A and B are shown apart, each in its own frame.
Chain A
């Protein structure tokens, strides 16, 4: 309401009265500030900047192999199903036709059924959301299970510390859970 009443206002108050409804222009700083991140994310999703923010390396899985990358170089993100860490991967050039499915799990799987989360995507770029239990030991291994079209199964592993140092840092920060 324009209480521009008779009392001669102080300069500060005059300034406030004049500009108070225009302060919200500053809200425009929010999208401006997030714009670099928006475009970096867009490039990351498209794969213009590679498989992920940090390529962890090759994992040999029997006769096959894959390139494993952290989608983001950061610890797991909260999810209703527990903390999730996103990994991306690409199959080796000559195993794209050979591999029926690829799975990821912290610790050695008990069986093919319990091989962990399955990768979605194409052999060139696929992703999986890996649940990371909060009490995962820092020396845990990340196991990759691959299944052939005839049902054969091969396994390989990479230390979690190598696959995702950020996850180890996150685990250490969490502290040991009972």
Chain B
């Protein structure tokens, strides 16, 4: 095969990867971009989730103080979980159970413990993630087929990156001499735009496509009951480790702050940012947070009656494989290092969306041009060679 026809073939492959499903890919890119900054969007729209300081010298409350404050304001509500978001301008997310049977997320002020509001029934954050992640297809058993549909896109995305770099001869020169010709017509402009965005997004497209493909693998493993977790499974506390007490008097539990202290001693470097409270008398109290490696969480499950740590899942417990697989989700979503990383992810998400669009525009412009040429030549009565030329002219540019 000649060099020319080989590059033509690569070009064809590159085009075909996204073209027939360009709109699907575009919407997945756009919703993914929105999902990255969904928390920030809600922050802008809903004052309830902002962590406003009552005074300049206000100190954040401990988890026990927050629970006590909620107990004062809403004595009937039961706290199920407290999560301190990564960024300090967000209110605490508190899982609350109300006597009428609702279990909702409430937003508590980290400095006063006041419940500022409960999550609205339309949860923008969850909605964008569900739309992006599984196209809203319900999970009936195992993973939803929408999850497969979306995560399968990781493969053509990866292939697009590879074939794009093959087609784009000496792409590294683009870093040194960025070209974006504005005054040479739409086709030239979109072509330059596509290439320029492409080379600067190489890292991002690689990250998104590889992590996206991991979601596919994760679903396949999950649906086939293949576990690669090194975490020991201790579903509940053994019956003899839960003390008996007088009728009608629940056995006393240790304070949450005490539990956090125990967990922090056991897990050096733990920044305890979330607590899941026991969900019945035999259920553990789970404390967790990040350690030195920002992409993974470390957790400890404690016996809430005596503070004994039943299961801990530390960074040092993880197998090398788990370091890779557990890093996949945060690398995909960009939620591991605060606002700036999210904004970088959102920016490149937007660029990737634009690449889908510009790719489509290049194709349509070129097709339109080719059609025009073909018709012109046809009018002159030169049928056979034209089609050929129209096609080959598409290869470069």
Direct contact of A and B (CB under 8 A): yes
Binding site for B on A (CB under 8 A): 1-6, 20-22, 24-25, 27-28, 30-31, 34-35, 37-39, 41-43, 45-48, 50-51, 77-80, 90, 97-98, 100-102, 113, 118-126, 147-152
Instruction: Provide the residues of chain B in CB contact with A3, threshold 8 Å.
Output: 387, 391
B295 located at the interface, meaning its Cβ lies under 8 Å from any Cβ of chain A in the complex = no
Of residues 5 through 30 on chain B, the ones whose CB sits less than 8 Å from some CB of chain A are 12, 15, 19-24, 27
**B100 and A124 contacting across the interface, CB-CB below 8 Å:** yes
**A31 and B391 contacting across the interface, CB-CB below 8 Å:** no
**A6 and B387 contacting across the interface, CB-CB below 8 Å:** yes
**A24 and B247 contacting across the interface, CB-CB below 8 Å:** no
Minimal beta-carbon separation of B362 from chain A (angstroms): 12
A149 contact from B21, B131, B146, B250, Cβ within 8 A: B250
Instruction: Provide the residues of chain B in CB contact with A150, threshold 8 Å.
Output: 244-247
Contact-residue bracket for chain B: 35 or more
**A119 and B138 contacting across the interface, CB-CB below 8 Å:** no
**B249 and A21 contacting across the interface, CB-CB below 8 Å:** no
Interface majority SS (helix, strand, loop, mixed), chain A: mixed
CA of A20 to CA of B27, assembled, Å: 18
**B386 and A4 contacting across the interface, CB-CB below 8 Å:** no
**B20 and A21 contacting across the interface, CB-CB below 8 Å:** yes
B248 located at the interface, meaning its Cβ lies under 8 Å from any Cβ of chain A in the complex = yes
- Identify the closest chain B residue to A38 (Cβ): B136
CA of A43 to CA of B122, assembled, Å: 9
Binding site for A on B (CB under 8 A): 12, 15, 19-24, 27, 78, 80, 97-104, 121-123, 126-127, 130-131, 135-138, 140-141, 146, 149, 225, 236, 239, 242, 244-251, 279-283, 360, 363, 366-367, 370-371, 374, 377-378, 383-384, 386-387, 390-391, 394
- Identify the closest chain B residue to A95 (Cβ): B248
- Identify the closest chain B residue to A148 (Cβ): B247
CA of A101 to CA of B146, assembled, Å: 37
Minimal beta-carbon separation of B152 from chain A (angstroms): 12
- Identify the closest chain B residue to A121 (Cβ): B279
Q: List 27 A-B contacts (CB under 8 A).
A: A2-B390, A2-B394, A5-B387, A21-B360, A22-B23, A24-B20, A25-B23, A27-B23, A28-B24, A30-B146, A34-B136, A34-B137, A34-B146, A42-B126, A47-B104, A77-B141, A79-B141, A97-B249, A97-B250, A98-B247, A101-B281, A118-B282, A120-B279, A149-B244, A149-B251, A149-B281, A151-B244
**A42 and B137 contacting across the interface, CB-CB below 8 Å:** no
Instruction: Provide the residues of chain A in CB contact with B283, threshold 8 Å.
Output: 120
**A20 and B20 contacting across the interface, CB-CB below 8 Å:** yes
Query: Given known contacts A34-B137, A100-B281, A125-B103, is B383 in contact with A6 (CB within 8 Å)?
Result: yes
- Identify the closest chain A residue to B98 (Cβ): A124
